[in-house]
Amino acid sequence: MAGGFWKNKRVFLTGQTGFKGSWLSLWLAQLGAEVTGYALEPPTTPSLFQLCRVENLIKSVTGDIRDFSRLKKTLFSAKPEIVIHMAAQPLVRESYKVPVDTYSTNVMGTVNLLEAAKGCSSVKALVNVTTDKCYENSSGTGKKNRGTRSFKENAPLGGYDPYSSSKACSELVTTAYRNSYFNPQHYSKHGVALASARAGNVIGGGDWAADRLIPDFIRAILKNKKVIIRNPKAVRPWQHVLEPLSGYLQLAEKLYKSGPKFAEAWNFGPDMQDDRSVEWIIKKLCQKWGKSASYAIDNKKHPHEAFYLRLDSSKARKELGWQPQWDLETAIGKIVEWTKSYQRKENLLDITYGQIDEYENARRKNGR
């Protein structure tokens, strides 16, 4: 980011093999940070991590966030100044199938990381990445339950499904550790600033996860098949992956420089006009991809998912100076651009870095 803050900073990043983690690893490497990643093997084949050879740009350690001993040893060895926790079981529908794994990863994984960081004297700033789904959301799937409320950071936490609930629990764990061990009032003694970050629905090139809208589209279109969508009217706060990642970086920098002033929860979501329905997203993707793309609606019964979700990110805009740079149509265009490069077997590291450069240029142009 501005001023070369990240050059030579020692960063410990969990979840570096995932979609968001790979994008952040590449960005941090480009900024000159010394990154140590800790995660399981890439969760999909193909994966952005493997396609962009991320392991050549950072120190990547294979490990389970639930393995406290290995996690602590790796963290202490890295001697990080900044910790960003992104390792998770990240899928709502998967959480219905594996609730125990979801809770043990998302809750105890957070406990393990914070407990390890508590004893690591080099750590100054710590960001726990959760989700916009950590809020108590009463919007159902029927027309009568279509609320339009935007969630602020002080809204009640909750979660209908195991994934959402586990992330609310992760937020509670963060608050408990901040109060008990990293209390802002005693910052001069412990020297650690702890915050959490809640992002909207993240999209971008290189996401191959199961049961996600964009990856499902990409898989279908590359096989010349019609993409099947569920819950076409469901509305989400869609944003390109670089938007929340820029927020995490800005937040971590503020925590490092100003400590407890920013040690709290933060939302990172798109502008209101980018809160769009699933069907709107698919229509726009089909339009930008070309005539070979088409879709159909799956009217079968599926596990519960909230109908409407919107974030109020005014606090991050006002206090961090964070602003989205790409509107949703631009973000969709970047996905199509990245995927067609993949289809043509181009150098995806160059393509990914090119999009990061474009995003940073937009930030500089807008003075943000």
| Domain extent listing, the chain | 2-202+240-274+304-327
Task: State the average pLDDT over residues 40-66.
Answer: 98
Instruction: Please enumerate, as own/partner, the contacts of 87-91 that have beta carbons within 8 Å and a separation of 24 or more.
Output: 87/14, 87/15, 87/18, 87/21, 87/38, 87/39, 87/40, 87/113, 88/15, 88/18, 88/129, 88/167, 89/163, 89/166, 90/18, 90/131, 90/163, 90/209, 91/163, 91/209, 91/210, 91/211, 91/212
What pLDDT sits at residue 277? 93
Closest CA to 75 of 88, 87, 93: 87
* Residues 141-190 pLDDT 10s: 444 444 557 899 999 999 999 999 999 999 999 999 999 999 999 999 99
Q: Which residue has the tokens 């501005």?
A: 2
Distances (CA, A) of 297 to 184, 188, 278, 366: 50, 57, 10, 39
Distance CA 359, CA 368 (A): 11
pTM of the model: 0.95
According to CATH, the topology of domain 2-202+240-274+304-327 is Rossmann fold (3.40.50)
pLDDT band at 2 (very low <50, low <70, confident <90, very high): low
What mean pLDDT is predicted for residues 226-248? 93
Instruction: Respond yes or no on whether the N-terminal peptide bond of residue 46 is cis (omega within 30° of 0).
Output: yes
Residues 347 and 350: their CA atoms lie apart, in Å, by 6
Neighbours of 208 (CB within 10 A): 18
Give the contacts of 364 (CB within 8 A, at least 6 positions apart): none
Residue 311, strand partner residues: 151
Radius of gyration of the chain (CA): 19
Instruction: Identify the pLDDT of residue 211.
Output: 84
Residues 149, 237: Cα–Cα separation, whole Å:
12
pLDDT at 148: 58
Q: Tell me the per-residue pLDDT of 256-300, one tens digit each, with 9 for 90 and over.
A: 999 999 999 999 999 988 889 999 999 999 999 998 999 999 888
pLDDT given at position 142: 45
- Reply yes or no on whether the pLDDT at 25 is more than 90: yes
User: Model confidence over 58-87: pLDDT tens digits?
Assistant: 999 999 999 999 999 999 999 999 999 999
pLDDT confidence of residue 368: 61
- The residues near 18 (Cβ < 8 Å, ≥ 6 apart) are 39, 42, 43, 49, 86, 87, 88, 90
Q: Return the pLDDT at 3.
A: 65
